[in-house]
Amino acid sequence: MLWKCQPVVPPRETSETTTLCEAAVMGWARALKLGNPSALEHSERTMHLAEWLGREVGLSEPELKYLRWGALLHDIGKLGIPQDILSKPMHLSEEEFLVMQKHTEYGMNWMEALDFLGPAREVIYYHHEKWDGTGYPLQLRREEIPYLARIFSVVDVYDALTSNRPYRKPCPRKRPCA
């Protein structure tokens, strides 16, 4: 018996598909704990901060959804970074930092085929770009950096400054250090 294949029609976004997509995002985010137990906590903190900031700047509900998803998955590429670099108790050497920078590429490569992530993938790839063009991976500057990635990078830096790191103590939350 021959099976007749039907073309796949993308489903309309319903609460069921949204729930399935959110479950997939959470599953990927939980994988972060495999490489670093505190990574999921960082992703969850930045997700809440990003949602708050996104509401403050007037993002729509769909934009907020993509911002939340990007926040949860922004460091997924660190699963491809050696553990000794991730947990090094001092600043990274220049060579180690070049390896660490690859996490944005790894994350984008792994999430690229997941079309439902939409602009969340831009957060994953561009969250280390800087307004002055000194960031990575592409040294984008100003408005070249996708908007959601710009918003997210603010809360990512804030959380990095106010959280324990293997190489330093956190700055006070009310007044982060530079």
CA distances from 136 to 36, 126, 141, 154 (A): 22, 7, 10, 15
Spatial separation of the C-alpha atoms in residues 152 and 158, rounded to whole Å: 10
Residue 124 has a pLDDT of: 98
Positions of the chain with pLDDT under 50:
1-11
CATH superfamily of 35-161: Hypothetical protein af1432 (1.10.3210.10)
Tell me the per-residue pLDDT of 133-150, one tens digit each, with 9 for 90 and over.
999 999 999 999 999 999
User: In whole angstroms, what is the distance from residue 116 CA to residue 19 CA?
Assistant: 12
Tell me the pTM: 0.84
Asked if residues 67 and 59 have their Cβ atoms less than 8 Å apart, the reply is: yes
